[in-house]
Amino acid sequence: MQREISRVEIARVLRVPHPYPENGAAEWIATAAEPGRDFAIELRETRELVGSIAINPHEQHRRAEIGYWVAVAHWGRGYMTEAVRAIIDYGFRELGLNRVHAECHGDNPASARVLEKAGMTYEGTLRQHSFRLGRFADKLQFGILRSEWREE
């Protein structure tokens, strides 16, 4: 996790400092918030960690935002699509949510594609919404409602 989060390809789209501090991953794991919110993604056969996915509920509104990354060497193998589908299912089934949503940068088509493949709907763009590593970036909004999930 330390190695991957330190990479600019990952850090440029996550809400983590870059350069990533030494021991940043170990400290984050040691202080990880509530159980059932942050999940490691590992390969079934080897148990190698290849990414992680988080779900952050807002209880009053019965919605949650998700965020995720996959190790660069494992991109394009369908791992994140599988993980996003699983966490949407978890959000509706286990957490009783009404809505699961995510946002991704306008120049991150792989992430947008993952969200669409997992059944989310593109809901709009917040133009130049963030300033990250020296440049402004659009934020694309995606979401899925409980009523839509049941239809799948």
Ligand X SMILES: CC(C)(COP(=O)(O)OP(=O)(O)OC[C@H]1O[C@@H](n2cnc3c(N)ncnc32)[C@H](O)[C@@H]1OP(=O)(O)O)[C@@H](O)C(=O)NCCC(=O)NCCS
Short-list 101, 113, 90, CA closest to 58: 101
Q: Does 76 bind ligand X (CB under 6 A)?
A: yes
Q: Which of residues 53-72 bind ligand X (CB under 6 A)?
A: 68-70
Q: Is 77 helix (H, G, I), strand (E, B) or coil?
A: coil
Sheet of 121-132, strands arranged across: 38-42, 49-58, 63-70, 99-105, 135-145, 121-132
Closest distance to ligand X from the beta carbon of 32 (Å): 18
CB of residue 27 vs ligand X: minimum separation in angstroms?
Answer: 20
Query: Residue 39 interacts with ligand X (CB under 6 A)?
Result: no
| Contact map string, positions 4 to 33, toward ligand X, x by CB under 6 A | -----xx--x--------------------
Would you state the torsion angle of the CA atoms of residues 25, 47, 36, 126, taken in this order, to the nearest 10 degrees?
60
- Chain residues that interact with ligand X, rule: CB under 6 A: 9-10, 13, 68-70, 75-81, 104, 108-111, 113-114
